[in-house]
Amino acid sequence: MPHNRSVYEQPLSERIRTFLRLEHLFAKAQHALTSIDPWSSRATLEAVIDIMAVISRADLKKEMIKELERHAATL
């Protein structure tokens, strides 16, 4: 019987971990927007507040701008 395994690795760079966190928060907000109940509204608001807290860091803003410019140049 084959054993199916999932391997999760921790990204080494703080920048990548932060971008993965932002991706998760955006997905969480988008998922919560699909419902109209009060708990989904609360989850959406919490995700947006968390996103704002992450992107308000000055050092991260510079990193995000550099990364977006790099991706725009490859397109």
- Judge whether 5 lies within some domain: no
- Judge whether 2 lies within some domain: no
- Judge whether 60 lies within some domain: yes
Total tally of structural domains belonging to the chain: 1
Output the CA torsion 28→50→63→57 (10° steps): 180
Distance CA 59, CA 36 (A): 36
- Judge whether 34 lies within some domain: yes
pLDDT at residue 75 in the model: 83
Q: Is the whole-model pTM more than 0.75?
A: no
**Structural domain boundaries, residue 37:** 14-74
Of the candidates 8, 9, 20, the one whose C-alpha atom is nearest the C-alpha of residue 54 is 20
- Judge whether 4 lies within some domain: no
Of the candidates 56, 27, 57, 54, the one whose C-alpha atom is nearest the C-alpha of residue 43 is 27
pLDDT digits (tens, 9 = 90+) for 12-48: 788 888 888 999 999 999 999 998 899 999 999 999 9
- Judge whether 7 lies within some domain: no
| Rounded mean pLDDT, 52-73 | 89
Distance CA 28, CA 68 (A): 22
- Judge whether 3 lies within some domain: no
